[in-house]
A and B are shown apart, each in its own frame.
Chain A
């Protein structure tokens, strides 16, 4: 099983959000050029899972073009951790917002 999310990004729009169900999982948010600016998760406290988390993210962007992709995953916390470590392995550092939010020591991953 690959450890990267390989599905393509799509625009974060109300129409595309309708296809997202209220499952738990993880997501990437990216600028229109595909640069990931946030790695998030929808956990057990999210009222409508990925749907409500992504809705919240879309509202916060206030119309600014945004790309997203997600993965339904019941092990959202360890998967979220893995995605952050992968990002550091690939890009050398975390997205700024993740860096700000992270309160614990992030692990090191050396994907093959």
Chain B
């Protein structure tokens, strides 16, 4: 793989890095260490600035108004945009925009008018309702929310958990079983307007994550018009699966970005912190931590870019995306952990971003498919589906 940056990529990365240093970090310093958002006026100002730079709407295809950047460049940008305290779950505090529910690009024209375009303009908020109390790693079989046809409507009953943004959303995607005999071939994706009678956000699910809390949803006789089916009846799993695969590259790149920042801080600190008459940097145990960090970072970065380049070439990248997600999330956790060890007591405090990264990085081994599922995906592709 050739991972030499092109001249254009180098300029873009430098621009993003400068933006992060000059615009995001000074504002973040003033926020609560667990804050998930900028002040609205600061955010609006920076969004306008990013639009002027031509980078707004990462992940949005150019035909829908997104920047004309390949996945490799966007992956490199993600590694820069995540290098701050809140970066793991809200890179650059969202001022670069994003694709939101990318599945809506496949919607029909009527659905695009009502849901996609307002979302891209930032007028509507969304949620993605897949995981259920019965499990999230195997959505094809775990989905127990049921949808039954009733005239022009479908009637939904069930529950969802770990759903971010459902309490503030204007609409969302809900996955429900429409054929109990067909496994993954019996799941349908519904576009659901909220609030609606029968749609209840029961509680906030407090997790290790500071940004974008999750919620638990109960669905009781929620009526959804047939025309709000995204795609086709019983073809919803492919929609969910497509998102899960695509999400893995930027998800992994975010872990790499945080790891890069943690390593940078650890190197700087070990040169100025003295113990027993000499700087930490002279201690072999510390040097080895720094070396192990670098190996983890470079391995994860390589896998992210490998997956991104395959996607850019239009090749199958499911295995590579799974490898990037698996290694990125696990390596990122190790790097943050070692950096905290180097920082000692200070590493445990809210004065530094490590404790937040440590908590949030732990979720990365679970979110968007746990490490075990990534290994399953890779093994299935290497050995063949018949042996699973």
Contacts and interface: CB of A to CB of B under 8 A. Distances in A.
Interface in A95-112: 103-112
B204 A81 contact: yes
Contacts of B207: 75
Contacts of B350: 44
A39 interface: no
Contact of A44 (B33, B36, B200, B201): B33
Nearest to A108: B167
B118 interface: no
Interface string A72-112: 00011111011001000000000000000001111111111
A46 to B, nearest CB: 9
Contacts of B36: 77
Contacts of B62: none
A104 B39 CA distance: 9
A7 interface: no
Interface residues of B, number: 25
* Chain A interface SS verdict (over half): loop
B206 A79 contact: yes
B221 interface: no
B301 to A, nearest CB: 30
A3 B215 CA distance: 12
Contacts of A81: 204, 213
A40 interface: no
A43 interface: yes
Contacts of A18: none
Contacts of A105: 125, 168
Given A43-B33, A44-B350, A110 B213 contact: no
B95 to A, nearest CB: 15
A107 B35 CA distance: 17
Contact of A110 (B37, B168, B202, B210): B202
Contact of A111 (B37, B166, B203): B203
A44 B204 contact: no
A76 B218 CA distance: 25
B268 interface: no
Contacts of A106: 168
B165 to A, nearest CB: 8
Interface string B210-225: 1001010010000000
B32 interface: yes
Given A44-B350, A77-B35, 4 more contacts: A82-B204, A107-B166, A107-B201, A109-B201
